[in-house]
Amino acid sequence: QKEVEQDPGPLSVPEGAIVSLNCTYSNSAFQYFMWYRQYSRKGPELLMYTYSSGNKEDGRFTAQVDKSSKYISLFIRDSQPSDSATYLCAMRDNYGQNFVFGPGTRLSVLP
């Protein structure tokens, strides 16, 4: 079992839909949780981060962490074609600098 799992997709939705992206993980020591967006042939770009459990909202994006279930989510409201990209979750514990990434979910938002 990999340390961080993510449905690779592809996930196709119509423009304006609410998108739900998820990751599960096995290491209960993880405390920092990040979501990155990666366009084709580009480096990942940080979208959201959360420390420990809870929700965080930023514009159309909401990140949720449920540490009891070892499950994190990213919701995108009013999705746009420009949101079409691969979404990566990443996480680490309190002490190390070693970020562990999921394999990414490829999202297509159709106009």
**Shortest Cβ distance from residue 81 to other proteins (Å)?**
22
- Does position 104 interact with other proteins (CB under 8 A)? The reply is yes
Kind of pairing between the strands at 45-51 and 32-38: antiparallel
- Does position 29 interact with other proteins (CB under 8 A)? The reply is no
DSSP 8-class letter at 83: G
- Does position 98 interact with other proteins (CB under 8 A)? The reply is yes
- Does position 11 interact with other proteins (CB under 8 A)? The reply is no
Q: Give the x/- contact pattern for other proteins in 50-89, rule: CB under 8 A.
A: --------------------------------------x-
- Does position 101 interact with other proteins (CB under 8 A)? The reply is yes
Three-state secondary structure string covering 9-75? CCEEEECCCCEEEEEEECCCCCCEEEEEEECCCCCCEEEEEEECCEEEEECCEEEEEECCCCEEEEE
